Amino acid sequence: MLATLSSRRDFDTDWLFERKLDGVRVLALRTGGGGVRLLSRGGKSLNGTYPEVVDALQAQHCADFAVDGEMVALRDGRTDFALLQQRLGLTDPKAARASGVAVTYYLFDLLRLDGQDTTALDLTVRKSLLRDALSFRDPLRFTAHRRRDGHELLDDACARGWEGLIAKRANSRYQYGRSTDWLKLKCSGGQEFVIGGFTEPAGSRVGFGALLIGYYQHGRLCYAGKVGTGYSTATLRSLRTRLDGIEQSGSPFDARVREARAHWVRPELVAQIGFTEWTRDGMLRHPRFLGLRDDKPAHQVVREAPAPTR
């Protein structure tokens, strides 16, 4: 179940609020006391990427469950997607454990328990069952929620440096796909974009100068601007190697992009980009690179627009 971006700020008591976490969605499954499977949104196995989470779930007394949650890396109490990036590409359990990057799996929903489908139950019932079914010790955490004024809670979340909040209808059932029963309330702009090209570095910079990014609309890749900040030297070098491997002769963007000496690439890589706002001409203001994502196909990346308030 996926949340819809919203600018809504007034909510009644039928809603609850959870902290918005800047990580990757992960489903965890265990059937009949067998082995635990961690799966990405696209169905990719993540057992080798997060072996300590597999161990923690395997040690649970509950032998049959399906849970939904967010895998994050924390720095000073805040979720740090750039830090999590160091774990995303690892598939060898030994390498993952030796990476030095600790992860935390925040669980927020229960899809199955002891052989029974729980998706038709109210969200508050599912969360109560989840809290009682599992033991929450590191690296597992239960995602707490509050049920008071959403505007006040969002102001507090932003003051703490959080990404924002997820507002959920307390009586909503679990639906596969995007729903307005779950709303994303963001403190600042940010979403996924497709990499369609890059520029050459200037001066002492290595790798590349900026990424040229976009999003899909009616099957066409629309240009959203260039991103020149947010990279470490290691990222500039490693990403340039990947970009060179998918370079193509022509631009993948629907409209002309006026960048001298631009290199074009097949639109396969997806990047998480933070920004302050959209400009009137459809470009990003103050964009910064946060990391690559492998949990969403490029063709599904669209411009997120707030759902109408009601």
**Catalytic positions, written as ranges:** 20
Q: For residues 132 and 13, what is the distance between their CA atoms, to the nearest angstrom?
A: 24
Phi/psi for 259 (5° steps) reads -130, 120
How far, in Å, CA of 267 to CA of 250, rounded?
Answer: 11
Beta-carbon neighbour count of residue 44 at 10 Å?
A: 12
Query: What residues are paired with 107 via a beta bridge?
Result: 69, 142
The letter for the amino acid at 153 is L
Residue 137 has which token pair?
A: 């010790």
Calculate the CA dihedral of residues 128, 2, 211, 92 and round it to 10 degrees.
50
Q: Which residues contact 256 (CB under 8 A, 6 or more apart)?
A: none
Give the contacts of 155 (CB within 8 A, at least 6 positions apart).
Answer: none
Q: List the one residue out of 105, 106, 190, 104 whose CA is nearest residue 145.
A: 106
Which residues 6+ apart lie within 8 Å of 182 measured at CB? Answer: 1, 2, 3, 4, 166, 167, 168, 169, 172
Tokens linked to 35:
């082995």
Rounded to 5 degrees, φ, ψ at 212 are -105, 120
Q: Using alpha carbons, select from 86, 74, 85 the residue that is nearest to residue 19.
A: 74
Q: Which residues contact 91 (CB under 8 A, 6 or more apart)?
A: 48, 49
